[in-house]
Structure 1
Amino acid sequence: MKKGKCMVARTKVYLYSAAVFISATLCAAVPPAFGAGLSQAAHHSAGQKATAAQLAEPAAPNGGRSSRVLPAEDSARRGRVAIIIDDFGNGMRGTEEMFALPVKFTVAVMPFLPTSQKDAARAHEQGLDVLVHLPMEPRQGKPEWLGPGAVLTRMSDAEVRKSVEAALDNVPFAIGINNHMGSRVTGDERVMGIILAVCKERGLFFVDSHTNYRSVAGKMAQEMGLPPVENHIFLDDVHTSGHVAKQMRLVREKALNQKYCVTIGHVGIQGKETAAGIRSGIAELKDSVEFVGISELVKDQCQWNPGVTLP
């Protein structure tokens, strides 16, 4: 992958008939950096909505989530959306409602909590991506909000590495890390260098939740040969289902404008409201975007081929 740029995205399109399997591959240009910051929302006409017939794949044991193969002309117009839901691991409000969503999303699990391993295993069984939602020191906020196993800037190099590796070992099936809080850590090159080094050694990637607009995570990831991935839109910065549904419309515009969008919501005190807003948004977006796991998006947008490396 070239520095500062993601490789050309590849979309595989399959059409099934009774006895014939036809495949075609289309390539579409992507923006310079997969982790590029917020852009102005583009307005799209109704003509950009998918209208062609969609063919259903055979049912799979994925929690009832559909995975549809689209005609080439339809797929070319559709953006891709990776929804990440943070704060699993503590039996928080909205957990069941999130697991009942009808589309793919990514489960970000905090380590060392009562349901951390259970939630990660459940997500994996449903065919969902799992991230370690790693607690990281913020510039502001109460220490108790971090939870166990937090990475702090006052830690030594060895202590940071030990904390990151322990968190990864505690959450099964994780394919990457994203930050819980962490505005101070994501601005610290020393600490982020260690976190990203562990990711590279284990064949993982780091998703910058974007709690710090001066984050060095994306720049350092590129320098280390990792995909620079970041959140574009928080769904529940206001904790109402109506606001979440409104944010989902912004997600649609972002995805259609730049071909993809990464967005984050949460389980927790308002978890049911967030889930309701997402479900409402899915109903509106289903004909114009494709919902994917974060690993699928990273592999396609950045030609990311994970591999374990020696420290």
Structure 2
Amino acid sequence: MRSLFVFLTAVLLIQGTAGARNILPLPAHQKELAIVIDDLGNDMKGTEEILHLPVTLTLAIMPFLPSTKADAENARRFGHEVIVHLPMEPVSGKASWLGPGAILTSLSNEEIRSRVEKAIDDVPYAVGVNHHMGSKATADDRVMRIVLEVCKERGLFYLDSKTTGKSVIPKLARELEVPYLENKLFFDDVYTLQHIGKQAKHLSHELDESESTIAIGHVGVTGMKVAVMLKEFIPLYEKKASIVPLSDLIPEYHLIDESMP
């Protein structure tokens, strides 16, 4: 009888412990990772696969393109964050890669402001901005001052994709008090699957060293490769960090729901 009592007591203790584990919240990760996917808006390859990934991503959507609004709506429906992927002048590259409404260094102050405002208006649910290409424009003090002034007026943050080492964004953002972030890694700056996998592994090592980090991939030419890579690596990343939208990396940044009274 005593043996039976001990056995039943042990079972109840085990069940009680298991039950307690089920109701206790999992400990939050101290580290955070934001994954940004650029170039949405033109029904690009990999878009559907990216949308269906089981984590919250930040999707950078280009304005004035055939699927701009549909991609923004789908991003919201699947729980992703939206930012404007603003086309900006590069040092080199085809003009056709920029898309409509590009920010060029030859434009007047008034035209730059007008184009930035229209681009923001064209991308529903946007809470921030980053640039498409832009190695020349983001090194231009006059151009970026106007871009960041509009961001401040609209309550948007700015992600410096770091397409040039001469970016004036950090200096101006601090001066204008615009929340800004900096990209740390491109998954697909080289288009091969081997390189994308190498960058994915590098990001895993980066998470061992950094409290927070940002990585950018693309839909389009590399879209399917990036989607496949992320599907494989997300479980590993989630063991090391919380995968969060970009806005979560900005201290005390709160999104305002304008529909609220």
Shorter-normalised TM range = 0.7 to 0.9
Between the aligned partners of 1:139 and 1:251, the Cα distance in structure 2 is 28
CA contact 1:82–1:262 (8 Å) conserved in 2 = yes
Could you say what secondary structure the match of 1:113 adopts? coil
Aligned to 1:71: 27
The Cα shift of 1:210 comes to 0.5
Report the alpha carbon displacement of residue 288 of structure 1 after superposing the two structures with TM.
1.2
Per the alignment, in what secondary structure is the counterpart of residue 152 of structure 2?
helix
Identity %: 46
Correspondence for 2:7: none
1:55 Cα offset (Å)? 7.5
Establish whether residue 127 from structure 1 lines up as the match of residue 83 from structure 2. Answer: no
For 1:205, which of 148, 157, 171 is the aligned residue?
157
Return the alpha-carbon distance in structure 2 between the equivalents of residues 55 and 239 of structure 1: 45
Counterpart check, 1:117 vs 2:73: no
Which structure 2 residue ranges, 5 or more long, are not aligned?
A: 1-19, 257-261
C-alpha distance in structure 2 between counterparts of 1:156 and 1:141, whole Å: 22
Q: CA deviation at 1:306?
A: 6.0
Does residue 304 of structure 1 match 2:256? Answer: no
Shift of 1:296: 1.4
Q: How does 1:1-311 map to 2 (within 5 A)?
A: 70-71=26-27, 75-76=29-30, 79-298=31-250, 302-305=251-254
| RMSD between superposed Cα atoms in Å | 2.3
Q: Counterpart of 2:224 in structure 1: which amino acid?
A: K
Question: Relative to 1, partners in 2 of residues 1:199 and 1:164: Cα closer, same or farther, differing over 3 Å?
Answer: same
Q: TM-score, normalised by structure 1?
A: 0.72
Q: Which consecutive segments of 4 or more residues in structure 1 shift more than 6 A? A: 53-56
1:54–1:145: structure 2 CA closer, same or farther, 3 Å change rule?
A: farther
SS at match of 1:287: helix
Which deviations, in whole Å up to 9, do the C-alpha atoms of 1:275-302 show, x marking residues without a partner? 111111113222112111111122xxx3
Q: Hey, what's the Cα distance between the residues in 2 that align with 1:167 and 1:178?
A: 12
**Length-normalised TM-score, structure 2:** 0.86
Alignment coverage as a number of residue pairs: 240
SS of match in other structure, 2:39:
strand
> Does structure 2 retain, via aligned residues, the 8 Å contact 1:92–1:268?
yes
C-alpha spacing 1:256/1:70, structure 2 compared with 1 (3 Å) = farther
Q: Cα offset for 1:219?
A: 1.4
Cα shift readout 1:17-56 (whole Å, capped 9, x = no counterpart): xxx9xxxxxxxxxxxxxxxxxxxxxxxxxxxxxxxx8989
Residues of 2 paired with 1:257 and 1:227: CA distance?
Answer: 24
Q: Which amino acid aligns with 2:216?
A: I
Alpha carbons 1:92, 1:271 under 8 Å: kept: yes
Q: Give the Cα–Cα distance (whole angstroms) in 1 for the partners of residues 79 and 108 of structure 2.
A: 37
- Tell me by how many angstroms 1:212 deviates: 0.7
Which structure: greater helix fraction?
2
Q: 1:255 to 1:55 in 2, by over 3 A?
A: farther
Distance 1:200 1:54 in 2: 44
The equivalent of 1:16 in structure 2 is none
